[in-house]
Amino acid sequence: MTTTGSPVSAPPTEQGGAAPRHRTSPPSREEKRRERRSRWYQRDVKWSPYAFVAPFFLFFGAFSLFPLLYTGWASLHKVSLTAPTDMEWAGLHNFSRLFEDEFFWNALRNTFSIGIISTVPQLLMALGLAHLLNYKLRGATFYRVAMLAPYATSVAAATLVFVMLFGYDYGMINWALGAAGIDPIDWHNDTLNSHLAISAIVIWRWTGYNTLIYLAAMQAVPKDLYESASLDGASRWQQFVHVTIPSLRPTILFTVVVSTIGATQLFGEPLLFNPGGGANGGPDHQYQTLGLYLYEQGWTNLHLGRASAIAWMMFLLLVLIGLLNWLVTRWMQKSELGRKTARRRS
Amino acid sequence: MSALKTDHAPSPRTVPDRARPGHRGDRRPGRGRASSAGGQLHAGRITYAVLIVVTVIALFPLFWTAVAASRNNTRLSENPPPFWFGGNLFKNLEIAWTDANMGLALFNTAIVAGSIAIGTVLFGTIAGFAFAKLRFRFRNLLLLLTIGTMMVPPQLSVVPLFMAIAELEWTNQLQAVILPTFVSAFGVFFMRQYLLEALPTELIEAARVDGASSLRILWHVVFPAARPAMAVLGMLTFVMAWNDFFWPIIALTQQNPTVQVALTGLGRGYIPDQSVIMAGALLGTLPLLLILTLFGKQIVGGIMQGAVKG
């Protein structure tokens, strides 16, 4: 075996390329055939990687990269849904208008609020559940599959059920609260309560998925870390905090990033949480998210240019959050390093 | 790759060998019995209790979808809400089937999700193989580009995509939903990660020495080695495409809907019949639940596999 890092093409070219350098006699037919094959071979080795990635990049370029850039271009124009090819240059007007728009800030606030209420408890619960699933269990597969069932349920189906469960007069949740002696809660018209209800749908759908990701990472934690921790007298909880969580840090970061992206794009849940239809996110826009606002501007109010500007604001927001994430990780690594050196010194 | 692998993986051993309430303070470092117990810790009663509660919460909305679908609108606006099945299930299913065009919607969704799964798996495997095992100029740059765009919100491309399909007069046609997600950066990345480890480079070299062309290697070496990961990626993609909502609702209408689009149509009448809506939701969810019960173990294993490597 050659080293794994060596070019794959090296052995065959030497093997197939048999033509001697200083020829004394004209090449025989056999030699010619070999030479032809070897040339073909080299070409195959050189060009087939491009052929293999080409179909992907063809679709990818047409339907992901190009639209990405075009949206930026469209955000600088006045474009209507009724005549999408009629673009009128508007400079940064769409953006400046957005900043003056109270509904934009409202949508931004709602996105943040729902994002935090749905992401933080979800990931904490997933972490705890993964810890439980990591025990030796009878019927382990059953629990795992059952927890994944919400993930296989569509946004539409899930939200429609939850709208009923969260109904004011006849919803099961208010009924259960009533049985416990608590007054019914208005899950739809009140801002905070509607955010809680929408977050509940998100949490329900995604906790199981994140649990499995954490579980996989937990099973990869080396056993002796726990052994030495227990020898040091660490309780089970201390082991969870000081061994499990630090070992899971990259995975936790991964889920935080993925959930943040998901939360920024939240769309289906708030759209369908409004049984009357429409993308306003409730009569007072109380749960209109950025995704919903984009849809309303583009497909209800027909302003595609403004919708593009919202899309780019969402993108910038994600980049900002990504940057923040990166800084926090670096800071965490640094402080960890600092702690370790401090411990070594003492 | 084996989905089973994770089930019995040796896992951290901790001091007490059973989660027993009331014995919290009774823990001393390195007690002989506990540290020689070995293997994975058995779950205690509390663990089971918590897991059962969580399972019930996870499954209850699905169960209740079926309950609500088997009642009628009047019964659903009464207190207390129904907890068990009534006799209207088939009537409601029938109404949902005809009103929301559910037959066509299911057929469309199967085609859309199936095509997207095939495209993602096929082109993901081929490109993933090139990224994992072949050398070419700009390889790292292209890979970085692929991974980078995984972060870009789909909303960002909706406007130009909509303009493009309007221009091509594809509105309300299935290819408008299939082609934009026909390949996925995630698919390429997933297959690359898998093939990096699962496909020995010597195997490819040996095939080359034997004079196999790249296409032959792809067919006889790469595809067989990638099969388990292809199956997992295919199932994950199918689930995602089946449930996709944002783009289909923009590109399609109620005349030629996918299941998700049809469902939103059901919920938007003037006096919506909740039991019929629930029947529609049930129809749209059942196929996936069926897949989950049949391939649950593999899907779970696949998600966990992807997590460790990704």
Domain membership flag for residue B72: no
Residues 6+ apart with CB under 8 A from A26: none
Q: Which pLDDT score, from 0 to 100, does residue A188 have?
A: 86
DSSP letters for A112-174 = HHHHHHHHHHHHHHHHHHHHHHTSB-TTHHHHHHHHHGGGGS-HHHHHHHHHHHT-SSS-HHH
| Model ipTM value | 0.77
User: What confidence category does residue B40 fall into, taking pLDDT thresholds of 50, 70 and 90?
Assistant: low
pLDDT tens digits for range B58-80:
999 999 888 888 887 777 777 77
Question: Degrees (nearest 5) of the Cα angle B35, B39, B44?
Answer: 85
- Measured between CB atoms, which of B51, B159, B162 is closest to A143? B51
Q: Is B252 helix (H, G, I), strand (E, B) or coil?
A: coil
C-alpha dihedral, B191 to B194 to B197 to B198, nearest 10°: -90
Q: Which two tokens stand for residue B144?
A: 């970085």
Closest Cα in chain A to B43: A135
Which residue of A136, A160, A177, A251 to mutate against B (max B Cβ within 10 Å)? A160
Does B285 fall in a domain? no
d(CA A194, CA A201): 11
Other Cβ atoms closer than 10 A to B154: 18
Examine the pLDDT at A1 and tell me if it is beyond 50.
no
Domain contains B198: yes
Inter-chain contact B157–A67, Cβ cutoff 8 Å? yes
Residue type, A201: I
B302 lies in some domain: no
Lowest mean pLDDT among B26-30, B155-159, B210-214: B26-30
> Would you give the DSSP letter of residue B17?
S
Name the residue facing B159 among A51, A71, A209 (closest C-beta).
Answer: A71
pLDDT band at B276 (very low <50, low <70, confident <90, very high): confident
- Residue reference for tokens 């994002």: A115
- Overall average pLDDT of the A177-198 stretch: 88
Residue type, A139: G
Q: How far is B224 from chain A (nearest CA, A)?
A: 17
Q: Which of B152, B181, B188 to mutate to test the interface with A (most CBs of A within 10 A)?
A: B152
Q: Give one DSSP letter per residue of B198-228, joined into a string.
A: HS-HHHHHHHHHTT--HHHHIIIIIHHHHHH
Is A316 in CB contact (< 8 Å) with chain B?
no
The domain in which residue B142 lies consists of 100-265
* Residues B101-118 pLDDT 10s: 888 989 999 999 999 999
Chain A window 239-278: which residues touch B at a Cβ cutoff of 8 Å?
Answer: 239, 243-244, 251, 254, 261, 264-265, 267-268, 271-272, 275, 277
Dihedral angle, C-alpha A230, A236, A237, A243, nearest 10 °: 50
Q: Amino acid identity, residue A273?
A: F
Three-state DSSP class for A327? helix
Within a domain: B33: no
Q: How many domains does chain B have?
A: 1
**3-state secondary structure (DSSP) of residue B156:** helix
pLDDT the model gives residue B122: 95
Within-domain flag for B28: no
Using only the alpha carbons of chain A, give its radius of gyration. 29
Q: State the average pLDDT for chain B.
A: 79
- Amino acid (1-letter code) at residue A278: G
Residue B2 pLDDT > 50: no
Is residue B22 situated within a structural domain?
no
Query: Can you read off the two tokens belonging to residue B261?
Result: 């689009």
Closest CA to B305 of B193, B219, B227: B193
Q: Which residues on neighbouring strands pair with residue A83, listed in sequence order?
A: A80
B235: left (phi over 0), alpha (psi -120 to 50) or beta: alpha
Mean predicted confidence (pLDDT) in B218-242: 89
The secondary structure element, H or E, covering residue A85 is strand A83-89
d(CA A264, CA A312): 12
| pLDDT tens readout for residues A149-170 | 999 898 888 998 998 888 888 7
pLDDT at B234 over 70: yes
Domain contains B63: no
Domains of chain A (ranges; CATH) run 36-89 (no CATH), 99-338 (1.10.3720.10)
Q: Is the pLDDT of residue B210 over 80?
A: yes
Calculate mean pLDDT across residues B194-217. 86
Integer Cα distance of A32 and A18 in angstroms: 10
Which pairs from B297-300 meet CB under 8 Å and 24+ separation? B297/A141, B297/A145, B297/B3, B297/B4, B298/B3, B298/B231, B298/B232, B298/B235, B299/A145, B299/A148, B299/B232, B299/B235, B299/B236, B299/B239, B300/A141, B300/A144, B300/A145, B300/A148, B300/A212, B300/B3
| CB–CB contacts below 8 A, A to B | 377
Task: Report chain B residues whose CB lies below 8 A from the CB of A65.
Answer: 149
How many C-beta atoms surround the C-beta of residue B114 within 10 A? 16
Residue A134 to chain B, least CA–CA distance (Å): 7
**d(Cα A248, Cα A217) in Å, to the nearest integer?**
6
Across the interface, of B13, B50, B281, the residue whose CB is closest to A160 is B281
pLDDT of residue B20: 39
Q: Does A129 touch chain B (CB under 8 A)?
A: yes
- What is the reported pLDDT for A344? 61
Inter-chain touch B209–A151, beta carbons under 8 Å:
no
Q: Which CATH number is B141's domain given?
A: 1.10.3720.10
Q: Which residues of A touch B119 (CB under 8 A)?
A: 59
The three-state secondary structure class of A78 is strand
